Structure 1
Amino acid sequence: MTDLKELLDDAAGPESGVTDSDLAADLNRGRGALRRRRITGIAAGAISTAVVIAVGWSVLPSALTDNSEPAPATHTTKPPATKTPAAKSPKIPDSVRLDPDKRKPPVIPATAVPLVANTKPFPGVITCDLVPQGWSARIVYAAAGSQQQELYDPKLGNAANLHAATYTVVIRQTKLMDEGEGLTVDKYSTAWTKLPKVRAGNHEAVTSGVPGSPYGRQQVFVKPDKSSKIVGVTNNAYNLAWDMNTLLKFAGSCHYK
């Protein structure tokens, strides 16, 4: 074995000496090769990442434009709306309406019914010195301290076909009462002394209408004397065609017996 090694060494010749400069050159070449491998790996990784990103954007829906602003909404055609038939309002029974009487009032005559002297005192506690010509009076309600009379036209033949509260004059017994606001009358909450007054004949009165109004279908409260007694007169009669002055003249003629 030793003889064979010696023969090979003799054939190769003497080894050349390795200097320090040769070792430094080898070291530099090795470092350069290592840097080149690293750069190649980084570049390959970057290219792979770019490919993955490009694929990702290509499969995602386009949500933004190039300037990163919201893309305009895509116009879509809406199907024609189908019309739903409107629900019919249920018919409200007459029994629950505010005023179930749907009959018409009597015709307003072209000429007002004149006032004439009353020669027959009305029944009840109140009478009037004037009366609509041809009209009569009757008691429709009576209780202790409260009585109601009506003036009506006995010749009104179709009264059953007319609205019930449109062809009578109501005369009521009432009085001033103190309910903590001073002496007041009926539905008023202001004291009688503070209410604006009008003249009804020779007496002071309070009315829901205005003297001179062409419509006399209003309510008048007359104080016929210095007592607390009040005469309430409500004109519902279309068929009288009275203005407010005529109603005040009639109410001023009413008093307690």
Structure 2
Amino acid sequence: MTDLKELLDEAAGPEPTVTDADVSGDLTRGQRALRRRRITGIATGALATALIVGVGWSVLPSGTTNGAPQPAAQATKTPKVVKSVGKDYRTTVPQDTRKPPVIPADPVPLAANSTPFAGVVFTCDLIPQGWVVRRFGKQVVLYDPKLRNPSQYHDATYTLAVWSEDMVDDGDGLTPAKYGEAWTKLPKVPAGKQQVVTTGVPGSPYGRQQVFLRQGTTKHLVTVTNQAWNLAWDMNALLRFAGSCHYKK
């Protein structure tokens, strides 16, 4: 056996010398091969996941009918995009095409209000002459009882609304819900004896605007929204009315 081994060794020749460079090269090549296998595995797994998710979405029902899933084939249909007002664009909402009331030649004058609004924490000392007050929860709506057939007009184009709300403080100071800035930073205009925030400017011919009246230094607001075309008010008239509104004493 010894002779045979010696003969084989002589036939094979001397063993090559292994250097540090050879070891380093083998290690580098092995690491590269391992990285390639890992990347291939990740890519394959991601592709498989994407295929599974794609198949899942294609077979899941898009809605229900009487509690039962719709056929899977309907899920591949492209929904018809319908523009809507105030809701998700995929939802069909009937558009109110009715016109607002006619603007009269003369604005409705303001008259003294001797009866505080019932059921709410605020009232107004002035009121549109001949108009009546109706309460809806914490909101008061004023309208003309003589307006003929209000249903023929666009909704919310013939009412003057007043309600109370509180400002919130998220760290930047008391802020009205409608705005992103603190009350102290918002521009003010005079309304009676009060300084108010409004969506319009004094002197504007359009009184269909919104006015916010802070109650002293509290967080409480009285909000006045005029949408009544048939008042024919400009901003000055709206500010006179709004300036008479306040929390009850």
Q: TM-score range by the shorter chain?
A: 0.5 to 0.7
- Counterpart of 1:138 in structure 2 is 134
Asked which structure has the greater CA Rg, the reply is 1
- Counterpart of 2:203 in structure 1 is 212
- Tell me which amino acid in the other structure corresponds to 2:132: S
1:250 aligns with 2:237: no
- Counterpart of 2:122 in structure 1 is 126
After TM superposition, the score normalised by the length of structure 1 is: 0.60
Q: Report the CA distance shift for 1:93/1:248 in structure 2 as closer, same or farther (over 3 A).
A: closer
- 1:91 positional shift: 8.5
Q: Report the CA distance shift for 1:234/1:105 in structure 2 as closer, same or farther (over 3 A).
A: same
Per-residue deviation, residues 72-128 of structure 1 (Å, max 9, x unmatched)? xxxxxxxxxxxxxxxxx999789724x721111000000000001012212222110
Distance, in Å, in 1 between the alignment partners of 2:235 and 2:186 is 18
Candidates 210, 221, 225, aligned match of 1:230? 221
- Counterpart of 1:57 in structure 2 is none
- Tell me which amino acid in the other structure corresponds to 1:222: L
Q: Report the CA distance shift for 1:91/1:203 in structure 2 as closer, same or farther (over 3 A).
A: closer
1:179 aligns with 2:170: yes
1:114 aligns with 2:109: yes
Q: Report the CA distance shift for 1:183/1:239 in structure 2 as closer, same or farther (over 3 A).
A: same
Percent identity, please.
57
After TM superposition, the score normalised by the length of structure 2 is: 0.61
The alignment's C-alpha RMSD in Å is 2.1
- Counterpart of 2:152 in structure 1 is 161
Give the SS at the match of 1:96.
coil
- Tell me which amino acid in the other structure corresponds to 1:125: V
Q: Report the CA distance shift for 1:103/1:184 in structure 2 as closer, same or farther (over 3 A).
A: same
> Where in structure 2 are there 5+ consecutive unaligned residues?
1-79, 86-90
- Runs of 4+ with deviation above 3 angstroms: 89-95
| Correspondence list, 1:1-257, <5 A | 96-97=92-93, 100-123=95-118, 124-140=120-136, 142=137, 147-257=138-248
> Where in structure 1 are there 5+ consecutive unaligned residues?
1-88
Per-residue deviation, residues 51-73 of structure 1 (Å, max 9, x unmatched)? xxxxxxxxxxxxxxxxxxxxxxx
